[in-house]
Amino acid sequence: MSESSVTGVSADLQGPDRTSHPSQTSQQYWTEAAHTGALREVGLPEPGPGELLIETLYSGISRGTESLVHRGEVPANITETMQAPFQLGELPFPVSHGYLNVGVVRQGNESLIGETVFTLAGHREHVVVPEAAAHVVPEGCTPQRALLAGIGEVGLNGLWEGPVLVGDRVAVVGGGLIGLTTALLASKMALQRLQVVEIDAERRGFIESLGLEAVAPEEASPDNDVVLHSTASSAGLASALRLAGDDAVIVEQSWYGTAEQQIPLGADFHARRLRIVATQVGQVPGPRRMRRTRGERLATALDLLDSRFEMLISGHSPLSELPAVMRDVAAGAPWTREQILHVIDHPLAEHHAFG
């Protein structure tokens, strides 16, 4: 599944009846209808017992899933499963979705006030989450890099799902946000081979600058033990099947929404005993789920973000421009095609000298 396929801990935590200072306002991004987003001005939300009020510095656009949400392409039978952890409203709309947020704790546990934390919240100037859902950004990790913790969780889940093991030959098909995050995490392992398969030559050059091997589909090595696919396209999945060795696993990290795909399962798919495995971050892959909570998995992903992940940040826009930015992202406007992680700067960020 794609990066925002996470189940909710508590939906609608910040409804209009949970405001503490009506005279103080806060901005929230909402998808009001298909292809229509807007900023709402609401009262400042109030934390309850065991909760934190966080003022957002940055939020990040998870392009694949948030585009599906913006276009109204979430299948009706899985809207509950696909809700973001701290979304407001209900899918398909109106809904305030998203799950990459870094901010500063303003109210709650006194020992955390002033700390910079990552949460699986969305594009809202202020968010309220349970204390256990806020992860303090490690020393040396910039707030912007910390936005990638939610994507790192997706990549880590995919590697566990394979599983990818020491000495493996691994291909990552797709050099987008999910694929590159997964590949950077995989590069920390002692693998026999790791290739990122990408059709765009310019993107392959960027991938090489990350210290990863990038190849065109026709140049990729076959006989892989695990192939991780994240292009959300039939052609990409066909490449993943072709690159898998006998008895190998293809981990499907894409989320297709309502789009139907043609999967080439003829030829030697059965004869080579290939397996396509779904991965969805709402659950920790078994058997690790017996020993890891989702919170522990997220904390691990946050700790694994080295300085290379900073290079995945490809652009910035202020919160005031988010409705127009999301429209362009969901429509595939030319300028968005070069984006990997597009960061939304909230008003608080303008007053801090963060990297």
Same domain, 71 and 160: no
Cis peptide before 287 (omega within 30 of 0): yes
DSSP E strand boundaries for the chain: 19-33, 36-45, 51-61, 88-89, 95-96, 101-107, 116-119, 126-130, 135-136, 169-173, 193-197, 213-215, 224-229, 244-252, 275-278, 313-318, 341-345
Q: Is residue 158 part of a domain?
A: yes
Does residue 274 surpass a pLDDT of 70?
A: yes
Distance, CA of 266 to CA of 271 (rounded, Å): 10
Distance, CA of 355 to CA of 346 (rounded, Å): 14
User: What residues have CB less than 8 Å from 5, skipping those under 6 apart?
Assistant: 65, 81, 82, 154, 255, 280, 281, 282
Same domain, 285 and 318: no
The pLDDT-based confidence of 103 (bands split at 50, 70, 90) is: very high
**Rg, the chain, Cα only:** 20
Q: Is residue 4 part of a domain?
A: no
Same domain, 139 and 116: yes
Ordered DSSP codes for 165-184: -TT-EEEEE--SHHHHHHHH
CATH code at position 157:
3.40.50.720
- 311-328: per-residue pLDDT in tens? 999 999 999 999 999 999
Residue 123: DSSP 8-state? S
- 219-247: per-residue pLDDT in tens? 999 999 999 999 999 999 999 999 999 99
Q: Is residue 267 part of a domain?
A: yes
As beta bridge partners, residue 101 has 59, 119
Q: Residue 215: what residue type?
A: V
CB 274 within 8 A of CB 248: yes
CATH code at position 89:
3.90.180.10
CB 55 within 8 A of CB 113: no
Same domain, 273 and 201: yes
Does residue 12 surpass a pLDDT of 90?
A: no
Same domain, 82 and 119: yes
Q: Is residue 297 part of a domain?
A: no
Q: What angle do CA 338, 341, 343 make, to 5 degrees?
A: 115
pLDDT for the residue 262: 85
Same domain, 140 and 202: no
Q: Is residue 88 part of a domain?
A: yes
Q: Which of 14, 101, 96, 30 is nearest to 61 (CA)?
A: 101
- 146-179: per-residue pLDDT in tens? 999 999 999 999 999 999 999 999 999 999 999 9
Helix (H, G, I), strand (E, B) or coil at 274: coil
DSSP E strand boundaries for 8-50: 19-33, 36-45
- Stretch 187-195: mean pLDDT, rounded? 98
Distance, CA of 355 to CA of 350 (rounded, Å): 12
Helix (H, G, I), strand (E, B) or coil at 285: coil
- 284-299: per-residue pLDDT in tens? 998 899 999 999 999 9
Distance, CA of 208 to CA of 258 (rounded, Å): 34
Does residue 354 surpass a pLDDT of 80?
A: no
Distance, CA of 277 to CA of 209 (rounded, Å): 30
User: What residues have CB less than 8 Å from 322, skipping those under 6 apart?
Assistant: 29, 37, 39, 123, 344
- Stretch 59-64: mean pLDDT, rounded? 94
Q: Is residue 328 part of a domain?
A: yes
